[in-house]
Amino acid sequence: MKSATLNILKQELVSRSPEELSEICLRLSKFKKENKELLTYLLFESFDENLYVANIKAGIDSQFEQINRTNYYFIRKSIRKILTSTRKYIRYSQQKETEIELLIYFCNKLKNFSPSIHGNTQLKKLFDTQLGLIRKKVSTMHEDLQFDYGIELDKLNDTGYQEG
């Protein structure tokens, strides 16, 4: 079965009644956990972005606390999982400020993680990649936000460890 284009789907959704749209949304939420999570964000959390960001940060904190620190293999695997879930929540929001704030928070947690990520090449590379992505996103924002986020990015690099 070939799926319809986004434009065709949009046209069809406009022609449906509110009751039909409600049924479609409920049906979608039954098929995939991500659909249910996105619907939850749109219905309950999108109105207060600051609370949403605070909840995601709390989730990141708890995930970092649960990391198995016995060796770098488990650490890398857990950190990649945390980054994947963070990126998923960023996609739900679709706001650049939320994306940058959460990625900076993730990088701060990673920088302060013990044992140090600088003892592992792959973790250093992941950290550097995230910093590069943040810098790229920040460069497209308003000058005032660029300045504010630039200060936070400089703090991330103030470890005696230089990016690159």
Q: pLDDT tens digits for 113-134? A: 988 888 889 999 999 999 999 9
Pick the range with the lowest mean pLDDT from 99-103, 125-129, 153-157. Answer: 153-157
pLDDT for residue 162: 42
Q: Which of 57, 149, 40, 140 is nearest to 92 (CA)?
A: 40
Asked whether residue 15 carries a pLDDT value surpassing 60, the answer given is: yes
Q: What is the pLDDT of residues 41-62, one digit of tens each?
A: 988 888 999 999 999 999 999 9
Model confidence at 81, pLDDT cuts 50, 70, 90, reads: very high
With contact defined as beta carbons under 8 Å apart, do 31 and 39 qualify? no
Mean pLDDT, to the nearest integer, of 21-47? 88
Mean pLDDT, to the nearest integer, of 132-140? 89
pLDDT for residue 142: 87
pLDDT for residue 163: 42
Pick 63 or 42 by higher pLDDT: 63
